[in-house]
Amino acid sequence: DAGITQSPRHKVTETGTPVTLRCHQTENHRYMYWYRQDPGHGLRLIHYSYGVKDTDKGEVSDGYSVSRSKTEDFLLTLESATSSQTSVYFCAISESAGATQETQYFGPGTRLLVL
Amino acid sequence: AQSVSQHNHHVILSEAASLELGCNYSYGGTVNLFWYVQYPGQHLQLLLKYFSGDPLVKGIKGFEAEFIKSKFSFNLRKPSVQWSDTAEYFCAVNDHPLGMRFGAGTRLTVKP
């Protein structure tokens, strides 16, 4: 398994509070991604990063922000959590991105419940 | 943007039965295709991938998939399933730069 850890692994929070999830990798891969997994939707991309301080939006970015100050860390922040953000969040990494040869590897996930 | 369709939401099989899970994608150009598996409570693990070459791809744990370009399909197969194959299976396509585009997933239950 790729060296990816996520913290926390489980979190319960209240509506309106800020929440930060952390993804840490030991592979020195350039690309990092945040997905959310919901029943019937598979995984959907929230934000991604293609280098330190280089990030961009994915399919479902509203209500989320990200930061990447170091190669190994990619933070996902829910600025004001809502019940619709209750989900399982997965971080992924890849060495290269492009039309060929990219394979993504996934972290263990963070289960977030917003009450 | 690309899209991925998985036809079966939940498949129930007995041990030793053969498995085929359907996957169709929308893009007509060069594609990179993947199958991931997620065991209960765990993260996604790569089963197999197709980039180019032989359209019949063999993966881990006895799984294989066949890329049929004319049908925009990448179906997953296993000749004889085991109880331990109970999991959720996701087909995905590389949708650079927007990461991976996943299907909704197929839940497989194998009865002992």
> From the list B9, B42, B51, which residue is nearest A100 (CB)?
B51
Q: Cβ–Cβ of A42/B98 closer than 8 Å?
A: no
Mean predicted confidence (pLDDT) in B1-14: 90
The contact set of B with A (CB < 8 A) is 1, 4, 6, 9, 30, 32, 34, 36, 42-46, 49, 51-52, 90, 92, 94, 96-100, 102-105
A47 vs A66: CA distance, rounded Å: 7
**Minimum Cα–Cα distance from A60: chain B residue:** B98
Residue B42 has what pLDDT? 87
Residues 6+ apart with CB under 8 A from B70: none
Question: Could you check whether the bond before residue A8 is cis, i.e. omega within 30 degrees of 0?
Answer: yes
State yes or no: pLDDT of B12 exceeds 80: yes
* Residue indicated by tokens 């190669």: A71
Which chain A residues are closer than 8 Å to B46 by Cβ? 103, 105
Residue A103 has what pLDDT? 83
Instruction: Give A38 to chain B, closest Cα distance, Å.
Output: 9
Residue among B94, B63, B111, B107 nearest B1 (CA)? B94
Residue A97 has what pLDDT? 60
- In the chain, the amino acid numbered B62 is G
* Tens digit of each residue's pLDDT (9 = 90 or more) over A61-111: 999 999 999 999 999 999 999 999 999 999 999 877 654 567 889 999 999
A25-39, A45-59, B89-103: the lowest-pLDDT one: B89-103
Residue A98 has what pLDDT? 57
